[in-house]
């Protein structure tokens, strides 16, 4: 990895690598697309700085059929209990 000669080229490289990381590319994939070694990429950039996750949303089928589109943040209790019982697990919630 040759150090960029100017601040502009350093910023340009940062932008390119950041975009690849945001798109979910691995360091090995990025290495193939830019002329920077895998280990150098790992040493200078952290995937966790660019990868974003969103909270899972759950929709009730009955709500969707009625035209409601407000998500919940957890599984409906009846669905959760149904899955537990289908796996042969105890569904007593008391």
- State how far the alpha carbon of 65 is from the alpha carbons of 30, 37, 76, in Å: 44, 52, 16
- The CB density around residue 30, as the number of other CB atoms within 10 Å, is 19
pLDDT at 71: 80
Q: Which residues contact 17 (CB under 8 A, 6 or more apart)?
A: 30, 34, 36, 41, 44, 45
Tokens 């759950």, residue located? 58
Average pLDDT over residues 65-89: 69
Confidence category of residue 94, pLDDT binned at 50, 70, 90: very low
Tally of residues, the chain: 94
The whole-number pLDDT of residue 26 equals 93
pLDDT band at 40 (very low <50, low <70, confident <90, very high): very high
pTM of this structure = 0.53
**Rounded distance between C-alpha atoms, residue 44 and residue 49, angstroms:** 11
| Residue 10: per-residue pLDDT | 85
Q: Which helix (H) or strand (E) holds 42?
A: helix 38-44
With a cut of 60, say whether residue 90 has pLDDT above it.
no
């Amino acid at each position: 990895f040759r150090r960029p000669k100017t601040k502009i080229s350093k910023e340009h490289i940062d932008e390119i690598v950041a975009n690849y990381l945001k798109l979910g590319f691995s360091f090995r994939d990025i290495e193939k697309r830019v002329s920077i070694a895998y280990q150098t990429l790992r040493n200078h950039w952290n995937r966790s700085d660019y990868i974003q996750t969103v909270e899972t949303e759950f929709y009730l089928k009955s709500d969707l059929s009625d035209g409601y589109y407000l998500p919940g943040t957890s599984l409906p209790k009846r669905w959760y209990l149904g899955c537990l019982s289908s796996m042969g697990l105890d569904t007593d919630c008391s």
